[in-house]
Structure formats: C-alpha cells, structure tokens
Structure 1
C-alpha cells in the first residue's frame, strides 16, 4: 500500500520594511494562521518555550544585521499568552567587541523584553549552566556544550534575520541555533573545522521546532555584519520544518538550495527536504517575492580582495577575522588607494603553517597567528577580534602610504575600537 508524502508547509507574508509594533503583531498572527494556528503548532506536552533571535552584533535592526526586537518579543508574547513559560535567549557573537547585554541594548531587545515582561537570557553569563550533549551522528563534532536552559526548553523557536554570510553563504534558521553555544573558545575552534558540516551536526540534536525568519530588512554582500548591505525585503517566512524554511529563503535570495553547502548536507543527512515538490508555500507566491538584485558574498575568502596585489589567505579563519578584513577593504579604506601600491598578504586562522612562506609584506591578524609571528618576519595585528583600526593602519603602511594620516572609518562601529578584547 503506497503512502502519500505530506508536504512541509512554509508561509510567506509581506510586511512594511519600517513596521509599527501593531503591524508586526498583525503579520505574526497572519503567519500563525497560515501555518494552521498557534494552538496547533504547539504539542500538548510543551510547557517551556525558547525564542532564539539573532542578536550577535551591537547593531539596530534597520542595518539588516540583527533580528527586529519587536518581532522576537511579540512571538514570545504569543506563546506566553497560551500560558506557557517563555524566555528569549542568545549567546552574543564571538569577537564582536561587545557583550551580549550590550547587543541586547543596542538592538532594542532589552527594552522590549522588559516592557513585555519576558525573561531575557544571556547564555554566556557565568550563572548559566552548560550541559554536554553527545552527537551520535556527528561527522566533525561528537559532542557539544550547550546552555542548559536551551535543552530544558520543550519547544524551540528560531527567529533569525536572513543574511548572506562570508563563510556559510546564507545564515537563516538552522545556523541561528549556533547562538546557543555559550563558549567563544568552542565557537572559534569549530570555525577551524568544516563550518557547514558542524552546523549540520548541531542541527541533528538542536533543530528548531518552529522557524520564523525576519525578512523585514535583510542583509546582502559581505555579511553577516558590516560592510553588508541592508535590503528592504519586507517579508516574514515561517514553518515547522527549518530546512524547508531555509530553502525557501535561499530561493527568495536567488539561490538554489544546493548552492548553500549546509542546506545540501542537511538534506543528504535526512534533516528535511529542500525540494519544491516537497514544500507547500502559502500566503505570498514565491515567484513574486524573489529578490532580483542580490549582491552575493564571495565564494571563497580569498576573493574578498579583488586587487591582485592584496592577497587574503585564510587557514581556518573565523567569521570575526574574515568579516574584519572585508570591513577594512570594502567599507573603510579609500578605494582609489587600494587600487595601487606594494604587494600585501593578509593571513589569518588557527591552521597557519609555520613552514610555509606566505609571501612578502605579511600582515598576520588575530589571536591564532601568534606562532607565525615568532617564526617569520611578519607584522601582526593581535586580538580576538583584531581591532580594525590597527589592521587598517598596517594595510595603509604596507601599501606604501606611510606619510599619510590615518584613514578614517565611514561610521562608528565596535570593530573600530583601538584595543583587542584578547591577546
């Protein structure tokens, strides 16, 4: 007897790119309705709900870098109104130059959570317990240390902002759950592995039960932070199958899901489907909301520099260093200055080879390159993350502009700070 395969349902609703609190609330309720109603989304055994936004930078939602605070807050309130225990939680981004609390404050989530009387948890706080979780089907990771509060939640709601990403190509609901790992050291170590494989390993034990993607303002180009370009998508996308939701967002961005490595790997490992035949889209038609003018991130870290005399080499570099170099080259330095000058090589990552000659005029950046400095005659910009102001000064000097005053940043950012967090 043949069985009929049930399609996963993904809902798409339009929303203004500068929405009021009332519009966000109405659009969230519309999304729930398209998915069958919030009552039907929550199993009867559920008592405790985690709402996990993406607030890994100290940036306002208008930048497209962080989740809109009222979206996260009103989703949490909807579950609270069902009589459930709800909390919002995040472990701030590694090497961003700010604490999670500062990120909550700048994003606006701190004020929203207080007004709605919803607990806000910083998974990096020392008071937060962690638990070791084995990954039976892990390919590159066999165990994770995860905030205990996350594992005690009966129902996990991923509320990411949709962005391009310089390592993962696209960051959405599956990758958003990486923000439940409280240890910066662990996150940095995982970046030296295959990031996409480790994201899928994590998804085998921590897949969201519901995903609601913030496409009010997304980000394209050199994401996941600055100098990425805000894009007024004006959309919310939701569903109970995270992989199908992420695949739909990939298509909205103009990608085929197989182009996003962690989505392809997740499907191969049985975590859901990315195929259009297996996904039922309700609300807006997918073909009507595809963004036609996407600026894609580079396919490889080495492509961050379009100038042949400026080479970028990543030997297991993390997002913080990669984003910092992109920020320096594409948002800070005067373009006409970069188009000429001496050859420069920027090296980063935990896997730098001590017996490898990376070329002339080396700038070694980040905490991970300390041994390279001891072996070779290199200029090093230490820190985790390395302060971009100092990186920019070294790039200026190596190119041959020694006598020029410091190039000024186009805007203020935590990455512009003078001192690194760690040495």
Structure 2
C-alpha cells in the first residue's frame, strides 16, 4: 500500500468501554477515511501483558470487539478473512495474553480467528533502504500475507522509547528469537526498520483509559478518547502533541518519517472529530512519560545502579532499549505482585555498559554485572574484579540461525547464574523475564514471591505453554518449517510502497 499523501487523524470522545458505542465510532471513522476492509484483514492489538498484574497494559477486548464488528460492518463480503493476531511479551505464550485479557472469549463470541504469532511460520522479508540495521527481517506469515492491516495499540508511555503508540507496537510482529535481535541501544532504529514489513490502512488506538509512566504496569489515566488515522507517523505525531511531546524528539517517529512513512508536521495533517486538538491536550494535562535513567530510577531503594555507555562502535551515552530499562520493568512487576518487594530486597548493586567509576559495595552485598556490553575493572571489597565486554558486533547475529531460550530453562538456571557475591548475567539484552527471576532468586530468602510460581499463574501458564508447544509440534509433523528462509513471495497488499 502507498503511504497517504494527505494524512488524517480523527479525535473522538468516548468515556466508556461500550462495544456498541466504539463500533459506531470506528465505523464512522472508516467511512470518513474512505476505507473498506478487503481480502485478508488482520487486526493487531497490543497485548504485551494481561491479567490481574497488568490491568492497564493492553488494548481492552471491548475496544477490540467494537473495531472488529465495525470492520465486518463496512467490509462485509470484501474480506476473505477477518483475524486478530499478536505476539505478547517474550517467554510468555501469547495464548496467556489472549485468555487473560478477555480477547479469547470476545473473539469466540463474534467468531473471529486468532493468530498467536509465535505459533505461525516465520517468513523472511528483504529490506533495502539506506541505513538499515540488516538486510532482511522475519515476521509471522499472517502479517506478511495481510491485505488490510489494522493496528489497534494502547495509548501508553514507555520507559525505553518515551511513548508506545502505533509505530512502537510493531515490536509485536516478531517472535522472541527475532524480537531480541537489535533490541538494545538501536531499538528505535529497529522499530523504524520494522515499518518496511507492513503498513496499516487503518489505526485505532485505545485511549479511553491511557497508561502513563510505565509500559507493563502503567498508571491508569482517564483520557476518554478514540483516535483513528490512516498514516502511522502522522498518527503518532498527533498523539505526541496531545501529551506535549515533540514527535521529532522520539527517535523511532523521527526515523520512520525520514524513511518515508509520513509527516510529523501538524500543519500537513488533517485533524478532525468531535474533540479538538486543544481539548485533547487539556484532557491529557499532567500525563507522565516513562523515560528515566536507571541510576535515578533506583534512588532511595536497596538497589544502587551504575550505567555507562553502550559499545563505542555504536555511539550513544545510554542503552535506552536494553538491559537498564528491562530491570525497571522487572522490579515494577514484582512490586505489583508483592507489595513488600522493596523491603524484602537486600542491598544490591547492578552495573550496565562501559561504566567508569567506583562501585560502593560493602561485604556481603551482591554485585551483578548485567548484559554483554558491561565493561569494568576495579576493586570490590579489596578484590580486583575485571569484567570484559562480551558484546558481539551486530553483523555477527544471523536471523537465519538465532535461537531463543525456553522459559523453563531460564527458571532452572536462574539460581546457578547468581552464585557468589560478584556475578554476571549475559545477554543482549537480558530480558525482563530473566531479570525478574534474578531479583527473585536474590530476595527469596527474605520471602519475596515469585510470580512464575504463583499457583493461579502456573496453571494458566502451563495450559498455554502446552498448547503452544503442541501447535508447533503439529506444524513440524505437517512438514511446515517454523522458519522459512528466503524472500517471501506471497506478500499481501499491506506491504508498503514507498516513493511517488
């Protein structure tokens, strides 16, 4: 599809999660934009995490129901398939997120197909634009085949990228093994590159109750809006303007604009609806974004953080897309699960990047060097410690051969990795899940609870895990490779067409 030359963003007031009200608003939005769903129509919500621990992290099912019913109203027989698909946060089966969010029940009620992207074949999409991180990306087959792609993100802040609106939600169109590649200080570049896989004909963001501050555990913010549009960059630019953020200061938005995916210039974007931009800005007054360095984040707690820059070969003063942000999300998850997390956490020191300074650890206080790029030499309690960088150049990672580590392997090895007062966690990045397990292992002697061992969570997780593995096994028996190498030749009409 071509990027609209005249982008439009529609602001509509909606205070409640009434599926029929949402359905009407979405249908009117589609009609105003002159859009009619056709062919393989795929809706991607943001289901990064769901359930009691994450009540404001995901696109609500009532919102999804309204969108899907409206698409069916307008598209009718022009659609050969109407489906919803997503890959939730890594290590957790997406089946969990669909079930815990209420999306499973909703999809069954209205008879819409579900895709858990990590259960589908991963296909190769070549990319050739200047300054790309690599020459090809992998994505689930349903994404590559989509004709009419609909992005339904959640209006949220993000601790690594400032915001997560439409563009950032594309991290969910990759499975674990491919998502973690370049999910480091080049995360914004990765997000921009992912835009070359598919483009939405229609965007509708759940901004009825927005999420401020965090990504997995945001604070609810009653914004009372449904925002719709036909161009991702323009859409995100308007969303930024609503909360008082310069879109050009958000690197993935700026980069996507430079790649040709739309304008951030509000004077070139038609903004319509029953809420003016000024009124929307008043509603959003005080909305907090989540960009905060790890040293500042842990001030006043039992954890002291030290952070240096990522590898000099790829200059930058801080790794916004990797390990430091992951530990912030990890501790937030534990705080939600166990209200006494901070009291139960022993004195702990965590080190990231090429840190040049002292580490003020007392005898008996654990020091964890986190990530492949950590690089430090000095004395801890009188002992000379040297941690050399294990960082691998980006071109040494081959998406054709990269593997992901099973969550049960991580559970089994978490304690062994933390033996001793000075330890290292390897990875680029070290994921949120692995850092949750590390923090629990350190503080479990003080009674810190492990969310992975919670009885209700384990039962839900176990069922979903077995279903996921059964589906993958069935695909193998049917001789359908999990990953199909070589340029995918059957892309749908949602594949982007850049240029005049």
User: Fold-level match, TM-score > 0.5?
Assistant: yes
From 436, 452, 456, give the equivalent of 1:388: 436
Task: Report matched runs for 1:33-52 at 5 Å.
Answer: 33=31, 35-36=32-33, 40-42=34-36, 46-52=38-44
Q: Partners in 2 of 1:72 and 1:119 — Cα distance?
A: 13
Q: What corresponds to 2:280 in structure 1?
A: 289
Q: CA deviation at 1:385?
A: 1.3
Q: What corresponds to 2:10 in structure 1?
A: 11
Q: What corresponds to 2:358 in structure 1?
A: none
Q: Is the counterpart of residue 264 in structure 1 residue 309 in structure 2?
A: no
Are the aligned partners of 2:163 and 2:289 in contact in 1 as well (CA < 8 Å)?
Answer: no
Q: What corresponds to 2:477 in structure 1?
A: none
Q: CA deviation at 1:60?
A: 6.5
- SS of residue in 2 equivalent to 1:105: helix
How many pairs does the alignment contain? 392
Task: Report matched runs for 1:13-162 at 5 Å.
Answer: 13-17=12-16, 19-33=17-31, 35-36=32-33, 40-42=34-36, 46-59=38-51, 63-81=55-73, 82=75, 83=77, 84=79, 85-95=81-91, 98-125=92-119, 128-137=120-129, 139-162=132-155
Q: Is the counterpart of residue 224 in structure 1 residue 272 in structure 2?
A: no
TM-score, normalization by structure 1: 0.79
Q: What corresponds to 1:274 in structure 2?
A: 264
- 1:168–1:335 CA distance, 2 compared to 1 (3 A): same
Task: Report matched runs for 1:219-368 at 5 Å.
Answer: 219-221=211-213, 223-226=214-217, 228-283=218-273, 284-290=275-281, 291-307=284-300, 310-313=303-306, 316-317=322-323, 320-328=326-334, 332=338, 334=340, 337=343, 342=347, 344-345=349-350, 347=368, 349-353=370-374, 356=377
Q: CA deviation at 1:390?
A: 5.8
Q: CA deviation at 1:320?
A: 4.7
- 1:143–1:150 CA distance, 2 compared to 1 (3 A): same
- Please give the root-mean-square deviation of Cα atoms over the aligned residues, in Å: 4.1
TM-score, normalization by structure 2: 0.68
- SS of residue in 2 equivalent to 1:274: coil
Q: CA deviation at 1:268?
A: 2.4
Are the aligned partners of 2:21 and 2:66 in contact in 1 as well (CA < 8 Å)?
Answer: no
Are the aligned partners of 1:92 and 1:179 in contact in 2 as well (CA < 8 Å)?
Answer: yes
Q: Partners in 1 of 2:225 and 2:435 — Cα distance?
A: 35
Q: Partners in 1 of 2:456 and 2:293 — Cα distance?
A: 22
Q: Partners in 1 of 2:416 and 2:181 — Cα distance?
A: 17
Considering Cα pairs closer than 8 Å and 6+ residues apart, tell me whether 1 or 2 has the greater RCO. Answer: 2
Deviation digits for residues 231-265 of structure 1, max 9, x if unmatched?
Answer: 11111111100111111111222211122111122
Q: Partners in 2 of 1:353 and 1:370 — Cα distance?
A: 21
Are the aligned partners of 2:329 and 2:432 in contact in 1 as well (CA < 8 Å)?
Answer: no
> Structure 2: which 5+ residue stretches go unaligned?
311-321, 352-367, 388-406, 466-500
Q: Partners in 2 of 1:14 and 1:358 — Cα distance?
A: 59
- SS of residue in 2 equivalent to 1:63: coil
Are the aligned partners of 1:168 and 1:260 in contact in 2 as well (CA < 8 Å)?
Answer: yes
> Structure 1: which 5+ residue stretches go unaligned?
397-401
